[in-house]
Amino acid sequence: MSTTEQRVAVVTGAARGIGAATAVRLAAEGRAVAVIDLDEAACKDTVEKITAAGGKAIAVGADVSDEAQVQAAVARVAEELGAPTILVNNAGVLRDNLLFKMSVSDWDTVLSVHLRGSFLMTKAIQKHMVDAGWGRVVNLSSSSALGNRGQANYSAAKAGLQGFTKTLAIELGKFGITANAVAPGFIATEMTKATADRVGMGFEDFKKAAATQIPVQRVGEPEDIANAIAFFTGEAAGFVSGQVLYVAGGPLD
Ligand code: NAP
């Protein structure tokens, strides 16, 4: 690749929240960005934000847990933007419940979107990275990987992504590809708002209560996570691989 050629980034679940902030941030870093989400029309806001700022982006509708849709989406990105060499596996869902009440389908849905989705996307894109001799994969883990009441499915998926990340780093390093995980704490998005709704709290009160438990005394914003992802996907991070970075306003491990 010549130094003037634009690298192509794929961000999943980028219609809103952390994914949208990451797509905007990577575009500001000069990447052409494929904004992927379940509903292509829902990606419009993110794409418009990027193009209004002079960046390049396309919206692509795909369910990351569906192999055929993933393959079609990656083929479209390669065709319309060029070979993707940056991948942020961010798409996610919650189906919280205590273990004894958790349905098999809620277990399967969460494992399928987070783990199978990240596997399918990475498998489809790694060949472009290998051909380019350069690549960056960032997987969204979570502080819940350390265990969280009511999230047996989600914590298993997020811990699984950490093992997946380290194995990618080991297997793909010789092709100039790094893989890292960002594990957010409490970030103010629709996902945490849905949790507030579920426990019957107003979102502002829910955030205030969460902030008292966080050393920096505030909850995170999507841009806090986008900043960490921008580092891992940057040219300068080529010797940082297989790491899990907790971005939670305080220490976690
Ligand atoms: P969010 O606001 O709920 O956004 C997630 C996006 O992913 C939504 O646009 C959703 O689309 C999309 N999505 C869901 N299933 C998909 C699928 N099968 N294929 C493609 N897209 C799909 O969530 P967020 O808070 O920004 O979280 C982003 C990531 O960070 C997730 O992996 C989450 O687990 C992780 N995380 C978040 C927090 C937090 O505090 N917010 C903390 C730790 C980790 P629909 O709206 O159509 O469902």
Residue spans per domain, the chain? 3-185+221-245, 189-219
* Dist. CA 53–CA 231, nearest whole Å: 21
Cα of 134 vs centre of ligand 1, distance in Å, is 27
**Which amino acids are annotated catalytic?**
154
Residues 6+ apart with CB under 8 A from 66: 120
Residue 7 DSSP label: P
Residues with CB under 6 A from ligand 1: 12-13, 15-19, 37-39, 63-65, 90-93, 113, 117, 140, 142, 184, 186-187, 189-192
Please state which of the four CATH numbers 3.40.50.1820, 2.60.40.770, 3.40.50.150, 3.40.50.720 is assigned to the domain occupying 3-185+221-245.
3.40.50.720
Give the mean pLDDT of 55-64: 98
Counting atoms of ligand 1 from 1, which one is nearest the CA of 112? 18
For the segment 164-188, what is each residue's pLDDT rounded down to a tens digit? 999 999 999 999 999 999 999 999 9
Counting atoms of ligand 1 from 1, which one is nearest the CA of 144? 43
Could you tell me the sign of the dihedral formed by the alpha carbons of 168, 155, 39, 187, in that order?
negative
- Percent of the chain at pLDDT exceeding 90: 98
Give the mean pLDDT of 109-126: 98
Mean pLDDT of the chain: 97
* Dist. CA 6–CA 252, nearest whole Å: 36
Residue nearest to atom 10 of ligand 1 (CA): 13
Give the mean pLDDT of 144-157: 98
pLDDT value of position 5: 84
Residues 6+ apart with CB under 8 A from 47: 35, 57, 58, 59
**Closest listed residue to residue 27, CA positions, set 40, 13, 14:** 14
pLDDT value of position 4: 62
Cα of 192 vs centre of ligand 1, distance in Å, is 10
Cα of 114 vs centre of ligand 1, distance in Å, is 9
Give the mean pLDDT of 207-231: 98
Whether the CB-CB separation of 12 and 117 falls below 8 Å is answered with yes
pLDDT value of position 253: 76
**Closest listed residue to residue 220, CA positions, set 253, 183, 194, 195:** 183
Q: Is the pLDDT of residue 1 over 70?
A: no
Residue nearest to atom 8 of ligand 1 (CA): 13
Pairing of β 84-89 and β 57-61: unpaired
Cα of 191 vs centre of ligand 1, distance in Å, is 7
Pocket test for ligand 1, best of 71, 77, 89, 93 (most atoms within 8 A of CB): 93
Tokens of 81: 């933007």
pLDDT value of position 45: 98
Cα of 6 vs centre of ligand 1, distance in Å, is 27
Whether the CB-CB separation of 153 and 110 falls below 8 Å is answered with yes
Neighbouring CB atoms inside 10 A of 8's CB total 25
Q: How confident is the model at residue 2 (pLDDT cuts 50, 70, 90)?
A: low
Whether the CB-CB separation of 32 and 109 falls below 8 Å is answered with no
**Bridge partner list, 34:** 10, 58
Q: At what angle do helices 190-198 and 203-211 cross, to 10 degrees?
A: 100
Amino acid, res. 164:
F
For the segment 65-110, what is each residue's pLDDT rounded down to a tens digit? 999 999 999 999 999 999 999 999 999 999 999 999 999 999 999 9
Residues in the chain, total: 253
Residue nearest to atom 44 of ligand 1 (CA): 142
